[in-house]
Amino acid sequence: MKTILHTFALLGAAAAFGNLADPQISNFSVRQDPSRVLHVAYTLDEPAYITMEILTNGVSIGSENIKLVTGDVNKLVPVGNHIIEWNARKSWPDHRIDTPSFSVEITAWAADNPPDVLDIDIVNGTHAYYQSVDALPGGGLTNDIYRTTHLVMKKVYAAGKTFMMGSPTNESPYRATSEVLHAVSLTNDYYLAIYETTRRQFALMGCQERTDPSAVWPEPYGSDDPLQCPVVYITYNKLRGSAPTIDWPTTGAAVGGYLATIRTATGLALDIPTEAQWEFACRAGTTTALWSGKGNADKYGNNDVAAIAWYAYNSTLVNNVATEFHAVGADNTKNPWGFYDMYGNAVEWVLDWNGAYDTSVSPTIEPQGPATGTSRVHRGGSFKSFAPDTRSAARGSNNPVDGVERHGFRLCLPLSQNGTQLTTAAASASSGVSEPFAFVSRDHIAEGSIPMTFSTFEPATMIYLR
């Protein structure tokens, strides 16, 4: 089912749509009361996730100005009549709109295709959906709340996608023989955390850091906030639980340990990614050793790695050993799909047992790793790693009871085969996943949208926002 986006200019435009797939919005109206609160009313004919944008001349006024929004928006909304309210006076003071350039844009995302960005408010135990990271309130990812009191996840469009996992034999002289290059097809989309889990997020989700005297925590780099650095000293078994009760892939998505606590805190079936999900998101469509398109043959100092990751040779060395990690989210560590620190900082546990890739069929469909093993895989390298360990294909592993100053994790939220988000309770079903179509205004149709017939109506009341 395709997502339908309706935009209605306040001054003289509305849209007449033909036969479109559900969900559809009708009875759309916008008014502003004397206190300058904007009231947006609409009727929804199918359950859908609703997001809203406010624009002038087709350009968003910015997430930092679209705050103090209440009502049926940024969440899954049932069938019926609904209201959204935006306090323009407090959110966007000293602005006046007196031309037809002002518009309100509502997107109805099908229940089987939630919006691209999931924002989990850890403190209040709620979550909201946005169409992009730029739409996140409070100025987007520049706001420290998204590394402390909130957890932001981005949808990875993986269903039906095939990619080459592993590495060619000539990629690096330090390449492991287990990195066999093979085709992998993924069947489900999933949300992946934009950042590695930080110490502050970990604590707020009800988890206790390791505090015994043998746990010598890395120092934060320079003036970095230590609570925005990745949580480490995480063992696989303490993160997910241990056999025989919890034993991926035999026991599937069931979890214990920290993840059980995290699911209780968030109400969502959060987990860690499979090895294939991790590499697909890390590569972000690239086939080279690094997601930057560069190679990675050097073992020690490597400028291509240093440009995009915190690893042993751009971290502070004491007796030739790295001793400092970094706050998550440095701009240079963002890959093409918007995920930070996929290389370096903390190594990230993934679900799989360590072992040979299954290449008995091609492509391998949604691999879950070996059924048994003695060590679990981690990916991405750390602030203590040499350059070859920071490649997209590089594999590391440890006994699941091991967890030292470099072992961390990144959260993942699977979507079911029909595209529905999984919660800790249950999930409803529908079919299909796709990026949204966009119908943007009376006289403009966004790139990639289906052309529609637009009808002009009488102008609405003039709206002033000042």
Give the length of the chain.
466
Q: What is the pLDDT along the chain (466 residues), one digit of tens a residue?
A: 333 333 433 332 333 333 335 788 999 988 888 888 999 999 999 999 999 988 888 888 888 888 889 999 999 999 999 999 999 888 888 776 655 677 888 999 998 889 999 999 999 999 999 999 999 988 899 999 999 999 999 999 999 999 999 999 999 989 999 999 999 999 999 999 999 999 999 999 999 998 777 777 888 888 899 999 999 999 999 999 998 999 999 999 999 999 999 999 999 999 999 999 999 999 999 999 999 999 866 777 788 999 999 998 887 666 566 778 899 999 999 999 999 999 999 999 999 999 999 999 999 999 999 999 999 999 999 999 989 999 999 999 999 999 999 999 999 999 975 455 554 432 222 222 233 322 222 222 222 222 222 222 222 333 333 3
If one counts every other C-beta atom within 10 angstroms of the C-beta of residue 129, the result is: 22
Domains of the chain: which residue ranges?
4-113+434-455, 117-414
| Structural tokens at position 163 | 């990619």
What are the φ and ψ backbone dihedral angles of 314, each rounded to 5 degrees?
A: -130, 20
If DSSP codes are grouped into helix, strand and coil, which group holds residue 272? coil
pTM of the model as a whole: 0.86
Cα separation of 296 and 194, whole Å?
24
Cα separation of 4 and 20, whole Å?
8
Identify whether the C-beta of residue 219 lies closer than 8 Å to the C-beta of residue 323. Answer: yes
Identify whether the C-beta of residue 80 lies closer than 8 Å to the C-beta of residue 56. Answer: no
- Only one residue has tokens 């003036």, namely 223
Residue 178 amino acid letter: S
- Only one residue has tokens 């996608």, namely 161
Give the pLDDT confidence score for residue 97 in this predicted structure: 61
Q: How far lies 452's CA from each of 14, 20, 125, in Å?
A: 12, 10, 40
End-to-end CA distance of the chain: 40
- Beta bridge partner(s), residue 86: 38, 69
Cα separation of 99 and 384, whole Å?
57
Q: Could you tell me the fold of the domain covering 117-414?
A: paralog of FGE (formylglycine-generating enzyme) (3.90.1580)
Q: Say what the alpha-carbon torsion angle 10, 11, 12, 15 is, to the nearest 10 degrees.
A: -20
| Tens digit of each residue's pLDDT (9 = 90 or more) over 229-238 | 999 999 999 9
